[in-house]
Amino acid sequence: MNRRVPLNPIFVWLPRATSILSIFGSAAIIFIILSDRQRKLSRVKNRFMLFMSFFDIFQSIAMLVGTAAIPRSTGMGGAIGSNGTCAMQGFFITLGFAVPLYNASLNLYYTLTISFSMRHNKFAATIEPFLHAASILLPLSMAIAFAALGYYRPVGGLCFTIKKGPVMTHALLIGFCFFASFLAMIIICCTMIRQSMRMRRYSYSPTSASHYELERRETILQAVLYTLVFCLTYTFPFVRSIQSLLGIFNVAFAVSVLTVLLYPMQGFWNFVFYIRPNLKYIRNTNPDRSFQWAFREVIFNAQSIELPSGRRSMMIRRRPTSTMRAVSTVESSLQEARSEQHREETIEEEEDFAQLFSTVEAPLSEEIKEQHREEIIEEEEGFPEEAPPQIRRLQTSSIRAVSTMESPFREESKQQHGEEKIEEEDGFCELSPHQLRRLPTSSIRAVSTVESPLREERKQQHAEEIMEEP
């Protein structure tokens, strides 16, 4: 029976405690994204965070198992596993190297969209698929190869590899992610400082300048925090890999403790900084509510939280000056095009109205001219004068409408028949049979009714004149 080898409890239980925090943090990120997947999965950052959280859960579970996956035959304290469980634990720990690769991909996304003004749709269509492929296939290939070659052995309280080739591969991978993250953060910070100074130069109020100053500090703080977390998580594993390559196996106790403390907490720190903007927004909009209430709202009611549109305007102000000028030029061109279109529509409406009015006016004008022509012919032929005003008001409905709309023709008719108006006022007028035939039946009756008394009066007057003659 093998003698049990005691192991320091710190290296057994500390990584398990931090792994639990990381599992809860990554699971919370997955829950927040999937609870509002229609809106959140449309953004590149959330897709990177979703895959990063999945792989972090795999790695954290493998580290939570700890010494239980080590073969029992080693006699190590808490070892109850076998060679298969040891290989499986090493496989998932290696697969967890997708987390730093996704972290580097996220930094590249921020750099291209903020500093180089790349469109999000273009990044998602051209670069994002390759980043997903590299972040998943590279660690997966390493894990399969190392497990097939039997490189995983008990190292401390975990099953990992101490072969020179795998260790060098891990060191190069972490070193590349370090370089990419540092370079991205430096470029972003320089871009933000340059744009903030430029905007402050063209600001005309202290309030606007202070706003840009606060915005600059907030962005730089967020970038520094992400870089700091990445450094705390992977600095000590990187140091241990370098020491292993150099043949230094007596690692300082402090370095070992910091490694098992900070390395499994990547998911927890991702969660803290992922919810930070929403949590800050809720706390500012609801100052009378507690922190616990805001925390619950961020996690369990994520679909109802929408950051104000001002954040989008902040992102627009972060664009380079040339881009802002191009946007303003396009907007002014669109505004001029809309004004020109509105002007053309107004002219077309006026032309349509004029055409419609002329279409209605032409028949009426012809009818009025024809009537006026007949009246002139009748006057030239010596027809009797027009009837009194009572008879003239008996017109058809069409003539009344025409006379109402065409007042100029009516004025001209009045001037041409001035003498007729004088005779109409005296009440002496007769209608010829030809004029009576032109009137409707109702008008003829009215004319005869009014004309009969006039004829009787004229006959009586004529008889009196004859009697008075000598």
Mean pLDDT of the chain: 75
Which domain range does residue 37 map to? 9-301
Q: Report pLDDT digits (tens) over 101-118.
A: 998 998 888 889 888 889
- Whether 94 is covered by a domain: the verdict is yes
Query: Residues 411-436: what's their mean pLDDT?
Result: 50
pTM over the 0.75 mark:
no
C-beta of residue 447 within 8 angstroms of C-beta of residue 431: yes
User: What is the distance between the alpha carbons of residues 362 and 405, in angstroms, rounded to a whole number?
Assistant: 12
Q: Report pLDDT digits (tens) over 171-212.
A: 999 999 989 888 988 888 888 778 777 776 665 455 555 565
Structure tokens, 210: 């202070």
Range 196-200, long-range pairs (CB < 8 A, 24+ positions) = 198/321, 199/317
Reply yes or no on whether the pLDDT at 240 is more than 90: no
Pairwise pLDDT comparison (172 vs 357), residue with the higher score: 172
Reply yes or no on whether the pLDDT at 415 is more than 80: no
Same-domain status, 295 and 349: no
Q: Report pLDDT digits (tens) over 266-275.
A: 899 989 988 9
Instruction: Lowest mean pLDDT of 49-63, 413-427, 454-468, name the range.
Output: 413-427
Same-domain status, 340 and 262: no
User: What is the distance between the alpha carbons of residues 214 and 210, in angstroms, rounded to a whole number?
Assistant: 6
Q: Coil, helix or strand for 81?
A: strand
- Whether 312 is covered by a domain: the verdict is no
Reply yes or no on whether the pLDDT at 348 is more than 50: yes
Query: Residues 425-454: what's their mean pLDDT?
Result: 50
**What's the structural domain count of the chain?**
2
Burial bucket for residue 413 (CB in 10 Å: 0-12, 13-18, 19+): middle
Residue reference for tokens 């196996």: 249
The reported pLDDT for the residue numbered 448 is 55
- Whether 2 is covered by a domain: the verdict is no
- Whether 3 is covered by a domain: the verdict is no
User: What pLDDT band is residue 373 in, cutting at 50, 70 and 90?
Assistant: confident
Same-domain status, 285 and 337: no
Measured from the Cβ of residue 335, the count of other Cβ atoms closer than 10 Å reads: 10
The reported pLDDT for the residue numbered 393 is 47
Structure tokens, 18: 């931090």
Reply yes or no on whether the pLDDT at 226 is more than 60: yes
- Whether 317 is covered by a domain: the verdict is no
- Whether 146 is covered by a domain: the verdict is yes
Q: Coil, helix or strand for 70?
A: coil
- Whether 461 is covered by a domain: the verdict is yes
Reply yes or no on whether the pLDDT at 144 is more than 80: yes
Measured from the Cβ of residue 192, the count of other Cβ atoms closer than 10 Å reads: 20
Pairwise pLDDT comparison (53 vs 339), residue with the higher score: 53
Query: Which of residues 301, 322, 343 is at a domain's end?
Result: 301
CATH number for 249: 1.20.1070.10
Phi and psi (nearest 5°) for 304? Answer: -95, 0
Classify each residue of 43-82 as buried b or exposed e, where b means 16 or more C-beta atoms within 10 Å of its C-beta: ebebbbbbbbbbbbbbbbbbbbbbbbbbbeebebebbebe
The reported pLDDT for the residue numbered 250 is 77
Same-domain status, 284 and 228: yes
Same-domain status, 352 and 259: no
Same-domain status, 59 and 162: yes
C-beta of residue 78 within 8 angstroms of C-beta of residue 88: no
Write the DSSP assignment of 74-119 as a string of letters: G-BTT--B-HHHHHHHHHHHHHTTHHHHHHHHHHHHHIIIIIS---
